[in-house]
C-alpha cells in the first residue's frame, strides 16, 4: 500500500498549528486528524464540536484524502459573523478594527 503526505491545520485566537502527516492510500479526514495528534494539542476544545474541511471546503469525516490535501479543523464560532458586523456597525467600527474573534 502506498503512502502520501497531507497537511493538518487548526487554530484558535492564541495558537495555530500546521502539521504534515504521512497517511496510507484510502485514509479519511478522520484518520488524518486522529493520526496527527493535533486535537491533543488543544485540550480545551471539544472534539465532538469540531468540523472539517479540505482547502476551505467543508467535508465529512469519512471523506477520502489525496496527496497534497490540507485538512482543516474548524471550531465553532463564538459569534455569528453577521451579528459581529451588526454590533460593530452600531458602534461605528469595522471588522478590521474590531478585536472580535
Q: What is the CATH number of the domain that holds 81?
A: 3.10.20.30
Query: What local confidence, expressed as pLDDT, does residue 22 receive?
Result: 96
**pLDDT of res. 95:** 61
Backbone dihedral angles phi then psi of residue 67, each to the nearest 5 degrees: -55, 135
Domain total in the chain:
1
Q: Model pTM greater than 0.85? A: no
Q: Which domain holds residue 93?
A: 3-97
Instruction: Indicate the pLDDT class of residue 36, thresholds 50, 70 and 90.
Output: very high
Burial letters 71-98, b for 16+ CB under 10 A, else e: bbbebeeeeeeeebbeebeeeeeeeeee
Quickly tell me which residue has 474590531 as its cell.
98
Amino acid at each position: 500500500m502506498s503512502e502520501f503526505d497531507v497537511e493538518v491545520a487548526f487554530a484558535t485566537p492564541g495558537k495555530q498549528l500546521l502539521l504534515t502527516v504521512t497517511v496510507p492510500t484510502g485514509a479519511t479526514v478522520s484518520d488524518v486528524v486522529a493520526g496527527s495528534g493535533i486535537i491533543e494539542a488543544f485540550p480545551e476544545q471539544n472534539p465532538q464540536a469540531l468540523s472539517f474541511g479540505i482547502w476551505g471546503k467543508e467535508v465529512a469525516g469519512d471523506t477520502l484524502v489525496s496527496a497534497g490535501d490540507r485538512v482543516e479543523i474548524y471550531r465553532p464560532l463564538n459569534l455569528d459573523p453577521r451579528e459581529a458586523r451588526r454590533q460593530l456597525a452600531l458602534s461605528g467600527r469595522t471588522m478590521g478594527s474590531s478585536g472580535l474573534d
